[in-house]
Amino acid sequence: MSGKAVETVPETSGDAALRIVVVDDHPVFRMGMTALLDSLPGLMVVAEAEDLEAALAAARTHRPEVVIMDLHLGDRTPSGVEATREILRIRPGTAVLVVTMLDDDDSVFASMRAGARGYLLKGAAPDEIERAVRAVANGEVILGPAVASRAVAYLTGLRSAGAPPVALPELTAREREVLDLVARGPDNLTISRRLVLSPKTVRNHLSNILTKLQAATRAEAIVRARQAGLGEN
């Protein structure tokens, strides 16, 4: 199933409509989102994608104005944050609206750093989704109510505390934690035990770290980590 994309309309039809690609690894969610958006005036889903490869192919082929992006695209594929970054690299004018179950600070800020213009939680009302799609397409940045209130609290806290810049801000807090331990020398099994994670999860975090840092090897990532002040005793 990897790489599968479902074209929902011909490339030549509906030129006046706002063109949308829905990226999610759950077919039921994709179908529901597609049905909702296609029922709204001026909106048209031109393709669905279940992973990074299909999302990039859809972005190149259909030139969407908006991409609806989930953050969890399955164990075998990069995260939605990486998919967002890659789509904007090849289609800078596209607006990415994250719609996900993840409501933690790391996911929100990693998505926005990757270039997403909006962030909603799954379960948002249809009218909220419609407003968000039209807003990001118009160049606005929009956050769901729960996400927005926490983002404001977070940013206000940073300003009042005068917190120093975060090392390697392109990484999530968990990825920085893994990289900090990697830079100290332990192997993946030791790290997994220390963080109470499965070895597979540690490997996935390390793979994401190498991708985000554009590091070819573990050793290169360790150098970057130590330059940023991680891995120090």
Locate the domains of the chain by residue range.
5-149, 173-227
* pLDDT higher than 60, residue 157: no
Pairing of strands 118-121, 95-100: parallel
CB 105 within 8 A of CB 154: yes
What pLDDT is stored for residue 106 in this prediction? 77
- Region 51-67: mean pLDDT is 94
Phi first, then psi: what are they for 72, rounded to 5°? -110, 110
CB 66 within 8 A of CB 113: no
User: What's the CATH architecture for 5-149?
Assistant: 3-Layer(aba) Sandwich (3.40)
What pLDDT is stored for residue 119 in this prediction? 93
Alpha-carbon span 85 to 75, nearest angstrom: 18
What pLDDT is stored for residue 172 in this prediction? 82
Looking at per-residue pLDDT, the higher value among 38 and 79 belongs to 38
* pLDDT higher than 80, residue 115: yes
Supply the CATH classification number for the domain 173-227: 1.10.10.10
* pLDDT higher than 90, residue 63: yes
Pairing of strands 43-49, 5-7: antiparallel
